[in-house]
Amino acid sequence: MVPGDLRYTSDHEWVRVEGDEVVVGITQFAADQLGDVVFVELPAVGKALKAHVTFGVVESVKAVSDLFAPIGGEVVGANDALTASPELVNSDPYGAGWMLRLRPSDAAEISALLDAAAYEQVVAEG
């Protein structure tokens, strides 16, 4: 269920390492909990994020949820496709529904994230 090659946070975000950058999104579990996603607010490219602070907001029809930076770093890309098609977060959360590209400020923060097994445990415990 949960892709094995990604790292996770207990706030239901995932992180994929691609070279010296990482891609960030929210998990299928989070997307299902929210229901139909209708709007995603993302930071501008160039913004510096600290780990665990909010970087954006995701809205569904009747809920709103903060997005937390899984690690610190500089925003080098944001998924503009979500402006026109926020439903990608529901239909393909680990692929086309990605949200941010970050250049990590401290690679050590990545290794501190949960692996798939640990994240599955988090979901199971509710």
Partner 1 sequence: MSVVGERLQPTIFELSRPGRGGGKIPHPPANALDRIPAAARRAEAPALPELSEPEVVRHYVNLSALNYSVDSGFYPLGSCTMKFNPKLNEWAARLPGFAGLHPMAPDETAQGTLAMLHELEAILAEVSGMDAVTLQPAAGAHGELTGILMIRAYHRSRGDVERTEVLVPDSSHGTNPATASMAGFKTITIPSAPDGGVDLAAFTAALGPKTAAIMITNPSTVGLFEARIGELLEATHAAGALAYMDGANLNAILGRFRPGAAGFDVMHFNTHKTFSTPHGGGGPGSGPVGVRPNLVPFLPSPRVVREDDGSFRLEREGERPSSIGRVRSFFGSTGVLVRAYAYLRAHGAAGLCEVSDDAVLAANYLKARLAPVYEVPFERACMHEFVASAADLKRRTGVRTLDIAKRLIDKGYHPPTIYFPHTVEEGMLIEPTETESIETLDAFADALIEIFHEAETDPELVTAAPHVAPVRRLDEATAARQPNLRWRGMTGAQTPCPD
Partner 2 sequence: MPYGPHAADDRSRMLQTIGVDSVDRLFDDIPEALRSGPLKLDPPEPELELSARLQALAARNRTDLVSFLGAGAYRHWTPAVVDQMLLRGEWYTAYTPYQPEVSQGTLQSIYEYQSLLAELTRMDVVSASHYDGGAATAEAALMTCRATGRDRILVGRGVHPHYRQTLETYAEGAGLGVDEVPLVASGPLAGTTDLAALALLLADAEHPVAGVVAAQPNILGLLEDMPQIGRLAHDAGALFVSVIEPVSLAVLAPPGDYGADIAAGEGQSLGIPLQYGGPYLGIVACSDALIRQIPGRLVGLTKDLEGKRAFVMTMRAREQDIRRERAASNICTNQALLALAASIYISTVGPHGLRDVAAMGASRAAELEAALAAAGAPRLHAGAYLNEFAVHVPNARAVFKRLLARGVLAGIPAADLLPDEPAVADALLVCATEVTTHADITTFATALAAELAGGAA
Beta partners for residue 25, in sequence order:
14
Work out what residue 87 binds among partner 1, partner 2, none; the CB cut-off runs from 5 to 8 Å by kind: partner 1
Q: Which helix (H) or strand (E) holds 77?
A: strand 73-78
**Cα 36 from chain centroid (whole Å):** 17
Rg of the Cα trace of the chain? 13
Interface with partner 1 (CB under 8 A), residue total 9
Residue among 48, 53, 63, 118 that touches partner 2 (CB under 8 A):
63
79 binds partner 2 (CB under 8 A): no
Q: Which helix (H) or strand (E) holds 26?
A: strand 21-26
**Shortest distance, CB of residue 109 to partner 2, whole angstroms?**
26
Work out what residue 53 binds among partner 1, partner 2, none; the CB cut-off runs from 5 to 8 Å by kind: none
Nearest by Cα to 78 from 104, 41, 52 = 41
**Shortest distance, CB of residue 44 to partner 2, whole angstroms?**
11
Contact footprint for partner 1 (CB under 8 A): 36, 38-39, 59, 61-62, 85-87
